[in-house]
C-alpha cells in the first residue's frame, strides 16, 4: 500500500519528542552519578553511552510495534545491513522501506554537556529519504519534513526561515560547517584539514575567505541548520546513513541540496549513492555553477 506520509511524520515527531525526553533525563542522571562512563567503539573518540543504547531500543520497539513490516537500521545495533533497496514494487502491498535512526547524534556533546545534541529519525523508501525528524531536546528545536510537504522548525516555521532561500552566490560570503569526525589518523586527518584550510582562506579559491567555519558536532544538526538558513554549507567525510537520512529529507524540502560521494555536478544530477557514500556536502540553494571554488570543494 502507499505509505501515509502524514501519519508517519506525526508518529515520528512524537517518537522524537519522547526520545528527547529520555535524552534530557539520561543526561541529568549521568551528571548526577559519579560512575557514568562512556564506551569506546572504533577508537577513543568514537563514543557511546548507555543512554544511546536505551534510546535506540525504545525507538526500535515503537517502530516495530507500529510498522512491523518496516526494516530498521540503527547506529548502535548496526550489523552491516545494506541501505540500498531491492526493487521496490510500487502499488503492491509490500513496499520495502527502511527506518534509519541515530538515537543520539552528537554523543560527544551529550557527554560534555555541549547543547548540540539531537535524536535523528528518518524513513527511506527505495533508498530515498521520505520522512525526517531531528529533535534537539536541550534547545527544544524540532526540525521535521515529509517528501512533498515542506520542512518546518517547531512544526510552525517553514524552512528556510524568511530571506534565507536565495541561492548562495559565493563561498566568500558563506558560513560553513565542517567536522573532524572520529577518523583522525593519516591519511584521513590531513586530507580533512586541507579542505578546512581551503575553505578558510586559500589561493586555490582565488584568495577568497569564507566568512567563518563552525563545528556543531552533530551531522544531523549541521544539516538542519543549513536547511533553516543559519549555515550556508556543511562538509563532512565519514558520516553514515543514520547521521544524514532525516537531514537529507529536511534539507531537500527546504530547497537545499545534498551532494554525496558520486560527485554529482551542480547541474542537479541525481546522486544514486546518497545514503551509502559517507561523503557529504549540504548546501542551501544551488550555487551558480560558475563559482569554481564551490565546484572544487564539492569534488573533494
Ligand atoms: C557524530 C556525527 C558528527 C561526526 C562525529 C560523529 P555520533 O555522530 O554526527 O557529525 O563528526 O564523528 O559521527 O557519533 O555522535 O552519533
Q: What is the pLDDT of residues 191-220, one digit of tens each?
A: 999 989 888 886 666 667 888 999 999 999
| Cβ of residue 181 lying under 6 Å from some atom of ligand 1 | yes
Instruction: Give the closest residue to 205 by CA, choosing from 294, 267, 300, 266.
Output: 294
Percentage of the residues of the chain whose pLDDT score is greater than 70: 82
Buried b (16+ CB within 10 A) or exposed e, 174-202: bbbbbbbbbebeeeeeeebeebbebbeeb
Place of cell 582562506: 201
H helix intervals, 103-177: 107-112
* Predicted local confidence at residue 73, as pLDDT: 82
User: Is cis: bond before 187, omega within 30 of 0?
Assistant: yes
Write the ipTM. Answer: 0.93
What pLDDT, on a 0 to 100 scale, did the predictor assign at position 136?
98
Residue nearest to atom 6 of ligand 1 (CA): 181
Quote the CA–CA distance of 171 and 178 in Å, as a whole number.
14
Using most ligand atoms within 8 A of CB, pick from 52, 111, 181, 241 the residue to mutate for ligand 1.
181
Predicted local distance difference test score (pLDDT) of residue 210: 86
Q: Tally the C-alpha atoms within 13 A of residue 32's C-alpha that lie toward its C-beta.
A: 6
Q: b/e for 223-262, b at 16 or more Cβ within 10 A? A: bbbbbbbbbbbbbbbbbbbbbbbbbbbbbbbbbbbbbbee
Q: For 136-144, what is the mean pLDDT? A: 98
Number of C-beta neighbours around residue 86 at 10 A: 9
Q: What cell was used for 27?
A: 543526561
Q: Is 260 near ligand 1, meaning CB less than 6 Å away? A: no
- Answer yes or no: is the C-beta of 102 below 6 A from any ligand 1 atom: yes
233 SS3 class: strand
Q: Is the CB of 218 under 6 A from ligand 1?
A: yes
Q: State the pLDDT at residue 171.
A: 78
Q: Separation of 106 CA from ligand 1 center, angstroms?
A: 6
Looking from the CA of residue 222, the nearest atom of ligand 1 is: 10
Does the beta carbon of 179 lie inside 6 Å of ligand 1? yes
Q: What is the CA radius of gyration of the chain?
A: 19
pLDDT at 92 exceeding the cut of 60: no
Taking CA atoms, 98 is separated from 39, 70, 81, 277, in Å, by 27, 6, 10, 17
Residues with Cβ within 8 Å of 105's Cβ and at least 6 positions away in sequence, in order, are 117, 118, 119, 120, 134, 218, 219, 220, 221, 243
Per-residue confidence (pLDDT) for residue 267, from 0 to 100: 54
| Distance between Cα 119 and ligand 1 center (Å) | 12
Domains in the chain, please, with CATH?
Answer: 5-158 (3.30.540.10), 171-298 (3.40.190.80)
pLDDT score at 165: 62
Mutate to test the pocket of ligand 1, among 180, 185, 219, 225 (most ligand atoms within 8 A of CB): 219
Q: Residues 119-130: pLDDT tens digits?
A: 999 998 888 899
Closest Cα to atom 4 of ligand 1 = 181
Least confident piece of the model among 57-71, 152-166, 229-243, 273-287: 273-287
Q: How confident is the model at residue 93 (pLDDT cuts 50, 70, 90)?
A: very low
User: 52 with 103: CB under 8 angstroms?
Assistant: yes
SS3 at position 270: coil
Three-state secondary structure call for residue 71? strand
- Whether residue 285 is predicted with pLDDT greater than 90 in this model: the reply is no
Supply the pLDDT for residue 86.
Answer: 40
- For residue 293, name the pLDDT band (cuts at 50, 70, 90): low
At 219, list the grid cell.
551531522
Q: Is the pLDDT of residue 295 over 80?
A: no
**Interval 279-290 mean pLDDT:** 70
Query: Model confidence over 1-30: pLDDT tens digits?
Result: 678 999 999 999 999 999 999 999 999 999
Looking at the chain, the whole-number percentage of residues with pLDDT higher than 90 is 54
pLDDT digits (tens, 9 = 90+) for 96-113: 678 889 999 999 999 999
Residue nearest to atom 15 of ligand 1 (CA): 106
What element of type H or E holds 212? Answer: strand 212-214
Local confidence band at 294 (pLDDT 50, 70, 90 cut-offs): low
- Does ligand 1 have an atom closer than 6 angstroms to the CB of 56? no
106 lines ligand 1 (CB under 6 A): yes
Atom of ligand 1 nearest to the CA of 47: 14
- pTM for this one? 0.91
Amino acid at each position: 500500500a502507499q505509505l501515509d506520509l502524514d501519519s508517519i511524520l506525526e508518529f515520528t515527531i512524537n517518537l522524537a519528542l519522547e526520545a528527547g525526553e529520555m535524552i534530557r533525563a539520561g543526561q541529568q542522571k549521568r551528571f548526577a552519578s559519579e560512575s557514568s562512563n562512556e564506551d569506546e567503539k572504533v577508537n577513543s573518540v568514537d563514543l557511546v553511552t548507555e543512554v544511546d543504547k536505551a534510546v535506540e531500543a525504545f525507538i526500535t520497539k515503537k517502530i516495530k510495534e507500529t510498522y512491523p513490516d518496516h526494516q530498521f537500521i540503527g547506529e548502535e545495533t548496526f550489523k552491516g545491513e545494506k541501505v540500498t533497496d531491492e526493487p521496490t514494487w510500487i502499488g503492491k502491498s509490500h513496499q520495502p522501506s527502511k527506518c534509519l535512526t541515530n538515537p543520539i547524534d552528537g554523543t560527544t556533546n551529550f557527554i560534555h554537556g555541549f547543547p548540540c545534541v539531537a535524536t535523528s529519525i528518518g524513513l527511506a523508501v527505495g533508498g530515498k529519504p521520505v520522512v525526517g525528524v531531528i529533535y534537539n531536546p536541550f534547545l527544544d528545536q524540532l526540525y521535521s519534513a515529509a517528501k512533498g510537504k515542506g520542512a518546518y522548525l517547531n512544526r510552525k516555521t517553514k524552512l528556510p526561515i524568511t530571506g534565507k532561500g536565495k541561492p548562495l552566490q559565493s563561498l566568500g560570503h558563506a558560513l560553513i560547517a565542517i567536522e573532524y569526525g572520529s577518523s583522525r589518523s593519516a591519511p584521513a586527518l590531513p586530507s580533512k584539514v586541507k579542505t578546512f584550510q581551503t575553505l578558510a582562506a586559500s589561493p586555490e579559491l582565488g584568495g577568497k575567505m569564507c566568512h567563518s567555519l563552525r563545528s556543531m558536532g552533530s551531522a544531523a544538526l549541521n544539516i538542519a541548520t543549513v536547511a533553516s538558513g543559519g549555515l550556508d554549507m556543511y562538509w563532512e567525510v565519514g558520516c553514515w546513513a543514520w547521521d544524514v537520512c532525516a537531514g537529507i529529507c529536511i534539507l531537500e524540502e527546504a530547497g537545499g541540496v545534498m551532494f554525496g560521494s558520486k560527485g554529482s555536478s551542480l547541474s542537479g544530477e541525481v546522486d544514486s549513492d546518497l545514503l551509502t557514500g559517507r561523503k557529504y556536502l549540504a548546501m542551501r540553494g544551488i550555487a551558480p555553477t560558475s563559482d569554481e571554488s564551490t565546484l572544487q570543494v564539492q569534488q573533494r
